[in-house]
């Protein structure tokens, strides 16, 4: 069975490590930036509270309140949009497009899809051949 990505030889790994390269390790999103964590909502609440205080002081000093008010409205709106992930849904309000409709306007994606299907078919036929060979050996 072929690997999806070929493994890097040890000598190449050593050279890369000497040059300062290291394997990628995904770092988790900090809680105050993760909309699924409670800290995110507490941080947003603190910012909205600070905006409310700023707006109140602006009213006292007859200053501009527009910036404070826009933040008070925008922060919860963006927090909810981030949590619901509305910004990643292109099909809101429309019918769900089929794969063919999605591939119609993207020739690069279509070529990649067709190439992936071809590679998968070759891989499946190779597996079938190996299984048939093993079954012949077991039958003998």
Residue 3 domain flag: no
What number is the average pLDDT over the span 73-88? 76
- Spatial contact of 72 and 55, defined as CB atoms under 8 Å apart: yes
pLDDT of residue 80: 82
pLDDT of residue 56: 93
- What percentage of the chain carries pLDDT values higher than 70? 88
Residue 64 domain flag: yes
- Whether residue 67 is found in the same domain as residue 123: no
* Spatial distance between the Cα atoms of 87 and 39, rounded to a whole number of angstroms: 22
Nearest to 13 by CA among 4, 5, 22: 22
Residue 5 domain flag: no
Between residues 26 and 118, which one has the greater pLDDT?
A: 118
What is the reported pTM?
Answer: 0.46
The per-residue pLDDT of the chain, averaged, comes to 83
Q: Is the pLDDT of residue 70 over 60?
A: yes
- Whether residue 85 is found in the same domain as residue 96: no
* Spatial distance between the Cα atoms of 7 and 140, rounded to a whole number of angstroms: 36
Q: Is the pLDDT of residue 132 over 70?
A: yes
Instruction: Identify the domain containing residue 36 by its residue range.
Output: 10-89
pLDDT of residue 87: 46
- Whether residue 35 is found in the same domain as residue 75: yes
- Whether residue 48 is found in the same domain as residue 108: no
Residue with tokens 């927090």: 79
* Spatial distance between the Cα atoms of 18 and 11, rounded to a whole number of angstroms: 11
Total domains, the chain? 2
CA 140 to chain centre: 51
Q: Is the pLDDT of residue 115 over 80?
A: yes
Which whole-number Å values give the CA distances from 63 to 59, 66, 86, 125, in the listed order? Answer: 6, 9, 35, 74
- Record the tokens describing residue 20, joined without a space: 């300062």
Q: Over the Cα atoms of the chain, what is R_g?
A: 28
- Whether residue 40 is found in the same domain as residue 74: yes
What number is the average pLDDT over the span 15-37? 84
């Amino acid at each position: 069975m072929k690997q999806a990505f070929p493994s890097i030889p040890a000598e190449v790994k050593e050279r890369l490590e000497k040059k300062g390269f290291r394997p990628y390790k995904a770092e988790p999103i900090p809680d105050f930036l993760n909309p699924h964590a409670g800290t995110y909502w507490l941080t947003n609440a603190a910012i909205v509270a600070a905006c409310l205080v700023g707006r109140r002081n602006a009213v006292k000093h007859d200053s501009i309140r527009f910036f404070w008010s826009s933040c008070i409205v925008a922060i919860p709106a963006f927090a909810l949009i981030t949590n619901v992930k509305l910004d990643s849904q292109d099909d809101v309000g429309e019918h769900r497009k089929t794969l063919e409709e999605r591939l119609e306007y993207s020739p690069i994606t279509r070529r990649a899809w067709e190439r992936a299907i071809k590679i998968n078919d070759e891989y499946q036929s190779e597996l079938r051949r190996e299984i048939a060979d093993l079954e012949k050996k077991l039958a003998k």
